[in-house]
Amino acid sequence: MRNFQMIIVAVCCMAAIQLWAAPDSTNFGQVTLQVNDAPAQTFRAKSSKLYRNVAIEFQDVLQVQSKSENHQYYYAQFSEGESSVLHLIIESDSLPSDKMVPANYDIYIDLGKNFAGTVDLATRDSAVFVFPNGKFPENEMYSSNQSGTISIDVTEQAYGVSGAFNTTFNFPSMNAAGMDTYKLQGELVIPNQNLITGGKTGFLKPGMKRGQYTRNILIAVGLAAAITALVFIPQ
């Protein structure tokens, strides 16, 4: 049973990484990211979305149990609320030579309530969620000391809206104890279909989140089963 559970987790993670690493012509902006004193990396925004009237927080989305171990994995999850959230998936066009350097990041930035186009950030905490290579952490991880500016022209044009951001924040290290310093800046375009507001989000109301856990687990198990079936079908 334990081996089967670990196969599910491994297959899901491999599938997510392969999907993100697949060749794709989509480009919604250029993003520069520097972590601590490492050289800055340039990414393209593979996906950009702006959610309005939502709330975002860490929730447990997958649990793997055995007789001797219990692993609980977390990810950022939405529900109905009053905030606006910018969601970016950024991807490098070439794999880093250092395997410890992520090639992809899944990033959520809580822009707060009543977002009208520009937010000046000053020592904000718990407003950024970062997932290098889409990795599910085993702990709730929160940002701190965020500063900078995020500006999005919320007047919709034929293509969507555009914006720019320049922000610095601290975030727990995925590979060691302590905090990393992130410097994130760039420009982006958000297509009209990715401007998602209110009831169109389909997110659950607060107090109804257990069903969301179940949905996420079922999706993960279903995806793993489908991929496993494809991999092991006799040729």
What are the pLDDT tens digits along the chain (235 aa)?
444 444 444 445 444 444 444 434 489 999 999 999 999 999 999 999 999 999 999 888 788 887 788 888 999 999 989 999 999 999 998 777 677 789 999 999 999 998 989 999 887 899 999 999 999 998 899 999 999 999 999 887 888 999 999 999 999 998 778 999 999 999 999 999 999 987 666 666 655 554 444 455 455 545 544 544 444 444 4
pLDDT recorded at residue 60: 81
Residue 106's contacts (CB-CB under 8 Å, 6 or more residues apart) are 88, 89, 130, 131, 134
Beta strands in the chain, from DSSP E residues, in sequence order: 29-35, 41-65, 70-91, 104-113, 118-124, 128-132, 144-152, 160-172, 179-191, 195-197
Identify the residue whose tokens are 């919604």: 28
pLDDT of 71: 85
CB 16 within 8 A of CB 134: yes
pLDDT of the residue at 18: 43
Taking a C-beta distance cutoff of 8 angstroms, is the pair 79, 204 a contact? yes
Domain boundaries of the chain, sorted by first residue: 2-232
User: Tell me: the pLDDT tens digits for 179-224?
Assistant: 999 999 999 999 999 999 876 666 666 555 544 444 554 555 455 4
What pLDDT score was predicted for residue 6? 45
Residue ranges with strand state E in 154-211: 160-172, 179-191, 195-197
How big is the CA angle at 30 (ends 127 and 53), to the nearest 5 degrees? Answer: 35
Question: What dihedral angle (degrees, nearest 10) is formed by the CA atoms of 208, 212, 218, 222?
Answer: 140
So what's the pLDDT on residue 219? 52
> What is this structure's pTM?
0.76
SS3 of residue 34 by DSSP: strand
User: What's the pLDDT at 96?
Assistant: 72
pLDDT confidence of residue 36? 95
pLDDT of residue 122: 84
Q: What is the pLDDT of residue 15?
A: 46
